């Protein structure tokens, strides 16, 4: 080794690498080193940067240096093997976590399915119990002689009877209420000619040929004589949202009529509109949206109850066909609750509900104690009050 700057063996330029394959320790620049390696492939080459040459003075230094380099190479190999081992452990752990997650999901789904089946079975049991309770209440209602005036008397004197007869909203039930004492004084034998709109009650007085208007808030009533109005016995009466009053049908000299009249909101004069298709009296009238519906009734000439139902379009004042009720009814009563009509009447114990959207009647499971006249009244909790 010399202290002079090493020169390239091939071109005498600045050397960057030293080859220790022989005693000459040949130095090479970047250009000549590849040529040297190609021409001497049969020899073992130990190439070092020129910066390492000052530390290698003798063969012994060279041997120690090579041993240290070998040790470093072995250490690097071990580190790489350790890294590969850690990478394998990582991938294995991720796979185990994934499998554990899938197993946990399977167990959770299985447990949820089991609980869902248990809840469904429990729900069916509760529905069965509820059905049995309703049936028991129905049996209480009709098996203890709670009917007619006897029932009304028991309700007014014994609160427990009213509680026994109470069912859930939308079921038919009987309750004790001051209206039970008010209605008998106002409603005629037919339990029909009474309607409530805009905080007033309007019903016809056949004797005086006047309309009776009752204001519950003021607790006052008044009679109004309407020009050109002929109120027939057993006529239907209904008050529209705009205050107009409809008077339809009725009975004259033993014959039912088709006549239909509309009274303006001031209750001053009446005008005739298109007659109904069928003569009838003792029927029910109910308004929904732009239609007025008539249900059932009585044909006095034929002495029979009617199944026919019709509707009047208030925009065109034309009558249209409506599907018939399942059983004929007269002294008919109707209420409108939750977009459905509920219809009942004398001559049938069956209460039917009518869906105007599908024009269909469905007979309800509940039956009245007898086929005598009755009255259906809506309450504020969407229940229905039955008076019979």
Q: What is the pLDDT of residue 264?
A: 78
Q: What is the pLDDT of residue 221?
A: 76
What's the confidence (pLDDT) of residue 263? 81
Selection from 229, 157, 143, 237 nearest residue 195 by Cα = 237
- Could you write out the DSSP letters of every residue in 66-123? HHHHHHHHHHHHHHHHHHHHHHHHHHHHHHHHHHHHHHHHHHHHHHHHHHHHHHHHHH
Whole-number pLDDT of residue 238: 81
User: What CATH topology corresponds to 172-387?
Assistant: Neuraminidase (2.120.10)
- Give the model's pLDDT for residue 43: 55
- Lowest-confidence segment of 123-132, 197-206, 355-364 by average pLDDT: 197-206
Whether the CA torsion 26, 29, 32, 35 is positive or negative: it is positive
Of 279 and 328, more confident: 328
- The more confident residue out of 47 and 319 is 319
More confident residue, 133 or 217: 133
> Of 302, 305, 290, 381, nearest to 343 (Cα)?
305
φ and ψ at 184, to 5 degrees?
-55, -25
Query: What confidence tens digit (pLDDT) does each residue in 53-90 have?
Result: 555 556 676 677 667 777 877 888 888 889 899 999 99
CB 309 within 8 A of CB 285: no
**Identity of the highest mean pLDDT range in 22-26, 191-195, 267-271, 294-298:** 294-298
- The pLDDT of residue 328: 92
Contact, 245 vs 266, CB < 8 A? no
Note the pLDDT of residue 136. Answer: 67
* pLDDT value, residue 384: 78
DSSP single-letter state for residue 171: S
Q: 């014994």: which residue's tokens?
A: 158
Residue 333 has pLDDT above 80, yes or no: yes
**Is the per-residue pLDDT at 279 higher than 90?**
no
Instruction: Choose the weakest-confidence range: 19-33, 221-235, 250-264, 306-320.
Output: 19-33
pLDDT band at 14 (very low <50, low <70, confident <90, very high): confident
For the full predicted model, state whether its pTM sits above 0.85.
no
Per-residue pLDDT, averaged over 308-324, amounts to 89
Higher pLDDT, 32 or 171: 32
Predicted confidence (pLDDT) per residue in 166-220, tens digit: 433 333 333 334 444 444 433 333 333 344 444 567 777 777 777 777 776 666 7
Lowest model confidence (mean pLDDT) among 48-52, 136-140, 170-174: 170-174
Q: In this model, does residue 298 exceed pLDDT 50? A: yes
Domain boundaries, given as residue ranges, for the chain: 172-387
Q: What number is the average pLDDT over the span 152-169?
A: 49
Range scoring the smallest mean pLDDT among 27-36, 164-173, 359-368, 379-388 = 164-173
DSSP 282: S
pLDDT band at 294 (very low <50, low <70, confident <90, very high): very high
Report, as an integer, the average pLDDT of 27-45.
68
- Residue 293 pLDDT greater than 90, yes or no: yes
Mean predicted lDDT score pLDDT of the chain: 74
């Amino acid at each position: 080794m010399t202290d002079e700057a090493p020169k390239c063996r091939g071109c005498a330029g600045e050397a960057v690498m030293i080859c220790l394959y022989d005693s000459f320790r040949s130095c090479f620049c970047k250009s000549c080193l590849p040529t040297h390696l190609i021409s001497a492939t049969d020899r073992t080459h130990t190439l070092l940067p020129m910066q390492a040459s000052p530390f290698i003075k003798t063969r012994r230094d060279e041997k120690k240096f090579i041993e240290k380099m070998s040790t470093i190479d072995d250490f690097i190999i071990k580190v790489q093997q350790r890294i590969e081992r850690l990478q394998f452990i990582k991938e294995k752990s991720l796979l185990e976590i994934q499998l554990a997650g899938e197993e946990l999901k399977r167990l959770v789904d299985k447990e949820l399915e089991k609980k869902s089946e248990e809840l469904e079975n429990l729900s069916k049991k509760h529905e069965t119990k509820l059905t049995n309770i309703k049936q028991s209440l129905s049996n209480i209602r009709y098996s203890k002689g709670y009917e007619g005036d006897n029932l009304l008397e028991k309700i007014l004197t014994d609160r427990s009877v009213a509680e026994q007869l109470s069912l859930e909203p939308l079921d038919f039930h009987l309750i004790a209420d001051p209206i039970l004492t008010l209605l008998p004084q106002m409603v005629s034998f037919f339990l029909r000619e009474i309607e409530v709109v805009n905080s007033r009650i309007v019903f016809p007085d056949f004797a005086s040929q006047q309309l009776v208007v009752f204001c519950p808030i003021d607790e006052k009533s008044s009679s109004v004589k309407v020009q050109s109005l002929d109120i027939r016995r057993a006529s239907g009466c209904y008050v529209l949202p705009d205050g107009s009053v409809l008077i339809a049908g009725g009975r004259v000299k033993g014959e039912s009529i088709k006549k239909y009249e509309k009274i303006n909101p001031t209750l001053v004069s009446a005008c005739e509109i298109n007659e109904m298709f069928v003569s009838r009296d003792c029927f029910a009238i109910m308004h929904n949206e732009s239609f007025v519906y008539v249900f059932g009734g009585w044909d006095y000439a034929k002495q029979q109850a009617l199944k026919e139902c019709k509707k009047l379009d208030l925009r065109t004042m034309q009558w249209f066909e409506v599907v018939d009720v399942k059983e004929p009814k007269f002294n008919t009563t109707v209420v409108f609750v939750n977009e459905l009509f509920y219809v009942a009447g004398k001559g049938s114990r069956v209460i039917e509900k009518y869906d105007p959207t599908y024009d269909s009647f469905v007979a309800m499971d509940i039956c009245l104690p007898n086929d005598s006249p009755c009255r259906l009244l809506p309450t504020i909790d969407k229940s229905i009050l039955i008076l019979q």
